[in-house]
Amino acid sequence: MIKIAVFISGRGSNLNAIIQAIADKRLSAKIETVISNDKDATGLIIAEQHGLNTFAISQKGMTRAQHEEKILEHLSKFKLDYIVLAGYMRILSPDFLKHFKSEQGYYKVINIHPSLLPAFPGIDSYKQAFDYGVKVAGVTVHLIDENMDRGKILAQEPFPRFGDDTLETFTQRGLSVEHSLYPAVLQQIAKHGIEKK
């Protein structure tokens, strides 16, 4: 079983998928704490409904270093295997990441991104892909490194764009892929760890 901290900034749909996968015994993991940089994130309500520890701290009025220091202080109370980013809209600094460096040299911080990286990095990736007119989009689960959306890819899953798609239907299809892919990849990590390559 892996012990994880889940970082969110918004509605918490991937957090909810992870919670459900744990409840259904599809994922051998324990969520030690849920962190958010937005005290009003609806994902925090989901976490609290499931009796999970939560910690919310806005970065407003703080430097990045001060904000991350507060989060590290909270995380120090737990023995964690991985940090799982699930719609966390802040870039983590190298100073933060170094606290989670594995013996193999990678950071034990996992992210899900709504595109087939390296295509469409950054924000609004479904909209970027939709506006570009892709025929196939997808979802990537990857390790975090010092570069945005550039770490080692752990898994990718494509999905089609249909002719009558709106941005909304296209995005919904992507989200359903996210909600099955992320717990599945985390379960692979729980069973086999992360390959050194």
Q: State the catalytic residues.
A: 113
d(CA 16, CA 176): 12
97: Cβ–Cβ under 8 A, 6 or more apart, which residues? 107, 109, 144, 145, 146
Q: What crossing angle do the helices spanning 13-23 and 42-49 adopt, rounded to 10°?
A: 20
∠ Cα 121 125 128 (to 5°)? 105
